[in-house]
């Protein structure tokens, strides 16, 4: 895509995702650690420079963490002892694991593409986890969840507009998410709000 051609833009996007990621990683590990209970291997899809995967590996040393991202994204990433990096395209293949993490990835994609990505994730946990034990963990905006104040709703509208201008995407309500999950072949999910409009969604085959 365009990010590959424009190294400067690429660095900016990586940095923005990274700083947000550091804060988000600490928050997720602290507030929602139980999500990783029983997980022995995790692939962070679109995990960029590995901020999130590193935080998880540090907090849960028993979890084998790896990052899957496009070659130009992980090209300049310095190696971590606790995290493996794999170059690849999530539309084509996601490496097998107990759990697949998608942090703020899906809102950049159309519903149709989300179904494709999640189908690859479902295949990955079918191969990587003990029968029926795998899950996909999504960290993304769920619009209109009951905890939201007026300020948060205003921020949502703003974020919707920003994302639409940047990626022609939109933040989704729970019903939109549900439709995507079912189309990708998942049977059930649970949503836990973490911060503002960000929620953790656990998705089961």
Question: Are 105 and 114 spatial neighbours (Cβ–Cβ below 8 Å)?
Answer: no
Provide the 3-class DSSP secondary structure of residue 175: helix
Among 33, 103, 25, which residue's Cα sits nearest to residue 62? 33
| 62 a catalytic residue | no
**φ and ψ at 43, to 5 degrees?**
-110, 125
For residues 9 and 31, what is the distance between their CA atoms, to the nearest angstrom? Answer: 32
Question: Are 114 and 180 spatial neighbours (Cβ–Cβ below 8 Å)?
Answer: yes
For residues 41 and 137, what is the distance between their CA atoms, to the nearest angstrom? Answer: 13
Among 23, 12, 83, which residue's Cα sits nearest to residue 47? 83
Query: DSSP assignment, residue 61?
Result: T
| Annotated catalytic residue within 5, 62, 80, 107 | 107
| Active-site amino acid positions | 107
């Amino acid at each position: 895509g365009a990010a590959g051609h424009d190294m400067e833009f690429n660095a900016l996007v990586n940095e923005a995702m990274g700083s947000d990621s550091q804060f988000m990683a600490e928050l997720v590990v602290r507030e929602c650690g139980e999500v990783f209970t029983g997980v022995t291997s995790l692939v962070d899809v679109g995990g960029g420079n590995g901020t999130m995967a590193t935080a998880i590996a540090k907090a849960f040393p028993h979890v084998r963490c790896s990052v899957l991202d496009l070659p130009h994204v992980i090209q300049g990433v310095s190696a971590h002892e606790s995290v493996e990096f794999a170059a690849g395209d999530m539309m084509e293949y996601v490496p097998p694991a107990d759990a697949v993490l998608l942090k703020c990835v899906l809102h950049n994609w159309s519903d149709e593409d989300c179904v494709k990505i999640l189908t690859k994730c479902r295949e990955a946990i079918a191969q990587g986890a003990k029968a029926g034990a795998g899950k996909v963990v999504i960290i993304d905006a769920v619009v209109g969840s009951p905890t939201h104040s007026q300020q948060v709703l205003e921020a949502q509208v703003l974020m919707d507009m920003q994302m639409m201008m940047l990626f022609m995407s939109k933040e989704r309500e729970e019903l939109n998410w549900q439709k995507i999950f079912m189309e990708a072949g998942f049977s059930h999910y649970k949503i836990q709000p973490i911060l503002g409009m960000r929620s953790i969604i656990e998705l089961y085959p």
